[in-house]
Structure 1
Amino acid sequence: MQRLRDPNKAWQEPVAPRPTRLAFTSIFLILLALSGHGQATDVLTFHNDNARTGQALNEQILTPGNVNTNHFGKLWVLNTDGKVDAQPLYVASVSIPGVGWRNVLFVATENDSLYAFNADGTNLFWETRLVGAGETSAVVSKCNQVSPEIGITGTPVIDRQLGPNGALFAVAMSQQGSNYFQRLYALDLATGTNLVSPATISASFPGAGPYSTNGILSFNPGQYKERCGLLLSGGVVYTAWASHCDMLPYTSWIIGYDEHTLAQTNVLNLTPNGIQGGIWMANGGLAADSAGNIFLLDGNGTFDTNLNQAGFPVSNNFGNAFVKLSTASNTLTPVDYFATFTNSYEIANDVDLGSGGVVLLPDMLDAQGNTRQLAVGAGKDANIYVVDRSNLGKFNPTNNSAIYQAVPGALHGMVFSTPAYYNGTLYYAASGDHLQAFAFRNALLTNVSSQSLGSYASPGATPGVSANGSSNGIVWALESASVAGPAGLYAYAATNVTQPIYNNTVIGTIDRFVTPTIASGRVYVGTTTGVVVFGLLDQSTLTPVQVWRNAYFGNPSNVGAGANAASPANDGVPNLVKYALGLNPFTSANSAQLPSGSLEPSGDQTYLTLTINLYRTNQAPDVTYLVGVSPDLQTWLSGPPNTVTLNNTPTQIVVRDTTPVAGSTGRFIRLRITTPSPP
């Protein structure tokens, strides 16, 4: 009889014992050290993580060796009903009703639509429109920053663990006549249905500025758009709000909602007694550390140069500042900040620091061996600011000496983007500037280590990085269509960005502030009419198991339904075992196809024996068939003198234990299928 269990555990087939002193004999088919979802390739938030590093560190397909015009290019286009300004999000292994486990690409548009596409093809699993009855996407006639319509601008955020299938959160702006609405939605990943009723966004906050009434500021949904990528931290979805073209009146709002109920949890205004201070960061995202502290760059707005004894603005106005917020007790509280000594000039002349995004850097050791926890940002003044997250530096009217590190003139253009960080290097592409790579040494930003020969027209680019851990790093960047030339996708070796290893300028029109999504051997680029999908054009650079995955699952990566440990036939037999045996992963394996154990005589003794039949032309060249024996299921031994191979042909392997069952308290034999490293 066959017993099938979880593919992450041992599969076992008991063998009826013969009348000997053997207490128990069994054959184990086991797959070790593989997760159910394969490699962690999900892209669930803007720029890949809450630190906003832009790193995709589990990319095992795309390398500097195969990303070139010979092997890599445009595969297909996913059409949508409007502009795709939000970064597409990728989730491996979603259970789609009536379809099964699939890798899914979630795409939001300015027409208030959300799509769930097959990430490995062109099928559409579901589509929904986030507007109320009788409403349309919004139009702001006096501002063309986002036009011709405003719907979903900020990148949504996903929680894989919430609800039965995971949840996607998105903010959508809509309009009915002269009335505007902003709503936060929580949608089921598998069906696109509402998990709870949408939250209509409204807020109030104490303030005495010119837009207050009786000491209270009120959020006006028509005056704002949600450009920042949503942040999910500590069970709260945080939204941040920007103006339309600096159209007054507006101030600086951050509003949080409980992810389970969409009840409002907290509200903060960073210019409550002033004006402006919109938070947009070129469509970047609020960043958060593991303690739940939030970091952002505020736009130009009121800043109080008069400070209290603690060094904070006396009227709590933080316009044009690098701000750290505590979220303790579900209360948003400014606990630190940095403002440049030229802040008053920058505010008056629209040279805001908040035009760029923030990145939280991984811990670094300085020259004295101290651990440094740093963050970095830049804006329209073209300086790079590196702050110590435990002491941002506050405000000095004379100079910026209190900051951890300021690099004046590091960039050659205004910043309307978020940098990427990878392997000790920071990548910036300012407006009209080259893509530049800055190396960190001893926790300090050093000179440019390489820069692209070509430059990026306005507004520059928000790069992303794919890599397999610390190897095969590739920097990806998009250039928006402009008078300087057509829109394009560019790829560079992360170690030297001088020359692109790939570029494609036949891509359509890309809106400003768009960043690519790199996941599972594919690159997804949002355009004004949909998403263009790039990937490998041939299989010549793939391993045999990757070719097998691509044939069955449409993707060569070790993810989702095609992951080594997954069992899409729900028979408990992992994909890697079926690949090794030559079986179809979508067909349930029967006991006759699987390795079988027996007690076989040899001389005057009886031995436990395992027979493995292979339903393929040859043994798989990139896996190991390892037969082991054990007296106790704890200690496993393989090869001579513990086992002897009786037959080893392209279609059959027979291995026998060398310890007779007679006199043993127990003997076990197993087959373990492994790859040198999960490709």
Structure 2
Amino acid sequence: MGTPVIDPETDIAYFYAKSYIPNYRIEGETGILNGVYYFYAVHLDTLDDVEGFPILVDGVPADNDKRKYFIGGTILNRPSLTQIGDVVYAGFGSICDQFNYTGTVLAVNVKEKKLVNNFVTQAGLDSAFTLDWTMFHAGGGAGIWQSGMGLSSDGKSLYFVVDNGDWPGNVTEQTAPVAGGTELDVLSEMAVRLEVGEDGFLEVVDHFQPFDFQNDEGMDLGSGGISLLDPEVFHGGDIERMALVAGKSGKIYVLDADNLGGFRQGPNETDGVVQIIDSDGEGRQNGAVYGGLGSYPLDGGYVYSAGVGQPIKAYKLITSEYGTPHFEVAGKSVEVSQDTLGNGIPTVTSFGDAEGSGIVWLTAPLAGLQAWHAIPDEDGMLKTINLPRIDGSIKFSRPTFGDGRVYVFDSKGVLHCLGSN
């Protein structure tokens, strides 16, 4: 079962769950090709199904490539869901790169109770294709997994990241600069913006791809999603809206959310982005980021990263004398995250809009739930908040908050609730 989205106006939770239909495509009770996905809608107060749900989502051809169709057994819904109006969007990627899969975004209109769009990240005659549904990486790949982070949205567009996919021809020869707004059918190792049209229609309108993506040796962007920052705080110069994306390389790319940067659009055909924050080589995998970055729009604006084997880092937004915005390291935690993947996304809470009340929360498979004051002290340290010991946490999970309490699952699946007296 995937991570749901909850409609606060109706108190209905929407989510995908995988199951099997015996003898559906092949003989047997289970098996890859008998795997299917159902789209559920349940009432929160009773957990009863909403009338007309669940919906079987299977065998539907992609709207942008009719040769490719959705087979639940070969693909996995990792990112949490996103709702815009009456349409719920979901990203799908691989099961550890196995089978014939293609990165996918599905759109379900919950009022009409039907699938309205199936968008694949590798489309057109130049994309990989075969009818051997169990063949490794045969659908072109380019999955959307983001370590569980959901698709981001400003209400008009969807922002997400695709991991490494196939390229037509020799990928090392793909060196010509490409503007961000160029129409693309084949996506790989990119931050992508899809414009949302009527009835869930999706169209690529912008992208960013690192200039050296061919040489990343597997340290691609796809492990992290896109963080859209509060435009009332995070802006400067000609940049009205900012976005952050990071992945296995440990680099944090600061993007213009309205012009992501294309491919080799910077000086001397480098990255045409607002800023690149390097991990300084700290930690395993150079501080690889899984999931995404957290943000705090109070006290001048901070963002937070939790790279593998690194301390939690706080970056403060600074505007230069020329009006150019950039981030600088403002503080670090004493604690260093475990030297393996599994951290959640730094999540920041505050007491309303009270200045100085921010708290950064992080889950880790071994350390469990941790917390720090969000504003670094005068020595540049993030002060630790002592919490009751929780026995680990679920990989890539994050805490949930409500009524002054924090809820988190430990590594054994036990739900814990913490609150002040």
TM-score band, normalised by shorter chain = 0.7 to 0.9
What is residue 84 of structure 2 aligned with on the other side?
A: 233
* 1:140-183, Cα deviation, whole Å (9 max, x unpaired): xxxxxxxxxxxx1x320111223xxx211011112352221211
Distance 1:373 1:184, change over 3 A: same
Aligned to 1:221: 72
CA contact (8 A) 2:88 2:107 kept: yes
Tell me if the contact between 1:308 and 1:314 (Cα under 8 Å) persists in the aligned partners. Answer: no
Q: Assess, with a 3 A threshold, how the Cα gap between structure 1 residues 183 and 284 changes in structure 2: closer, same or farther.
A: same
CA distance in 2: counterparts of 1:311 and 1:425, whole angstroms: 27
Partners of 1:167 and 1:186 within 8 A in 2: yes
Matched, 1:323 2:206: no
Q: Which residue of 101, 119, 122 corresponds with 1:250?
A: 101
Change (3 A) 1:435 1:206: same
For the residues of structure 2 that align with 1:345 and 1:251, how far apart are their CA atoms? 22
Deviation per CA, 1:209-233: give whole Å up to 9, x if none.
xxxxxx6011111111111010011
The answer to whether 1:191 aligns with 2:46 is yes
Q: Is the 8 A contact 1:298 1:323 kept in 2?
A: yes
User: For residues 315 and 379 of structure 1, what CA distance do their matches in structure 2 show?
Assistant: 22
Mapped to 2, the partners of 1:446 and 1:488 lie a distance apart of 29
When residues 392 and 411 of structure 1 are mapped into structure 2, their CA distance, relative to the original with a 3 A threshold, is farther
Which of residues 141, 157, 161 in structure 2 aligns to 1:293? Answer: 157
Contact 1:282 1:355 in 2 (8 A): yes
What amino acid sits opposite 2:187 in the alignment? F
Deviation at 1:206, TM superposition (A): 6.2
Q: What's the TM-score, normalizing by structure 1? A: 0.51
Gaps of 5+ in 2: 23-28, 129-139, 169-173
Q: C-alpha offsets along residues 561-586 of structure 1, whole Å, 9 cap, x if unaligned?
A: xxxxxxxxxxxxxxxxxxxxxxxxxx
Measure, in 2, the Cα distance between the counterparts of 1:514 and 1:197: 27
**What's 2:328 paired with?**
447
Give the 3 Å change call, closer, same or farther, for CA 351–531 of structure 1 in structure 2.
same
Alpha-carbon distance, 1:311 to partner: 6.0
Structure 1, residues 369-409: CA drift from partner, whole Å, max 9, x if none?
x5511111100111111111111111118643422222233
What's the Cα RMSD here?
2.3
DSSP-derived class of the 1:465 partner: strand
**Any residues of structure 2 matched to 1:145-544 within 5 Å, and which?**
152=1, 154-162=2-10, 166-175=11-20, 176=22, 177-178=29-30, 179-195=34-50, 196-202=52-58, 203-205=60-62, 216-272=67-123, 273-274=127-128, 275-290=140-155, 292-303=156-167, 305=174, 316-329=185-198, 330-346=200-216, 349-363=217-231, 364=233, 368=237, 370=238, 372-396=240-264, 399-409=269-279, 412=282, 413-422=287-296, 423=298, 424-442=301-319, 444-457=325-338, 458-459=340-341, 460-468=343-351, 469-471=353-355, 472-481=357-366, 487-496=367-376, 498-505=382-389, 507-527=390-410, 528-536=412-420, 538=421
- Relative to structure 2, which stretch is displaced further, 395-404 or 509-518? 395-404
Report the AA paired with residue 18 of structure 2. Answer: M
Map 1:578-597; keep pairs closer than 5 Å.
Answer: none
Give 2:131's aligned residue: none
Q: What whole-Å deviation, never above 9, does each CA across 1:495-531 have from its counterpart, x for those lacking one?
A: 12533121343x2342210111122111101233231
Inter-partner Cα distance in structure 1 for 2:226 and 2:293: 8
Q: 1:289 to 1:303 in 2, by over 3 A?
A: farther
**Larger relative contact order (C-alpha < 8 A, sep ≥ 6)?**
1
Question: Looking at CA atoms only, which structure, 1 or 2, has the larger radius of gyration?
Answer: 1
Distance 1:431 1:323 in 2: 24
Matched with 1:666 is: none
| Mapped contact 1:323–1:336 kept (Cα < 8 A) | yes
CA–CA distance in structure 2, aligned partners of residues 285 and 230 of structure 1:
6
- TM-score normalized by structure 2? 0.81
CA distance in 1, matches of 2:258, 2:118: 23
CA contact (8 A) 2:180 2:207 kept: no
Is the Cα–Cα contact under 8 Å of residues 63 and 119 in structure 2 kept in the other structure?
Answer: no
Per-residue deviation, 1:293? 0.5
Runs of 5+ consecutive residues of structure 1 not aligned to the other structure: 1-151, 209-214, 482-486, 539-679
**Partners of 1:464 and 1:517 within 8 A in 2:** no
CA contact (8 A) 2:86 2:109 kept: yes
Aligned equivalents of 1:232, 1:366: Cα separation in 2: 26
Secondary structure of the equivalent of 1:503? coil
